[in-house]
Structure 1
């Protein structure tokens, strides 16, 4: 391979890598922290507390929170999906 072809290949490779790095800067953790959470943390904590308390009192084996507003989603699974005949963990797509 000639030196000219090697230089062109190296230049192309470095250009592609540089473009990829520039695009990754848009999703950096610093930018993510600046975006406010779309749901009120105190409301989510109240929901979590209610589900946790109901589980402690054996009123339900588990549950799934699925909240959507516009394009924002919050999902979380708690406890067990079924207690008989086998114990299985709840998933966000569990149907009770």
Structure 2
């Protein structure tokens, strides 16, 4: 069973280009994680709206206990977390109905 990690990323206004460049640099860090399947970031359609992150994992543990406890996640944080205000909340979803 795969799970979807969902987060709305509230990127500070005016820093969108920097965030997108930092994400391109950070992407290989998550892609190298055991249990990682795919990731998609969607741009907002309106000003001041959050970006949408959808990542697919084999399990919640692969994300939460694997990636988030790794050195790669510390690099991810350094690259991306400075753009968020406030910090995003992560939710997980199971198989489609």
Structure 1 length-normalised TM: 0.28
* Greater fraction helix: 1
Larger Rg: 1
Structure with higher RCO (Cα < 8 A, 6+ apart)? 2
What is the TM-score with the length of structure 2 in the denominator?
0.27
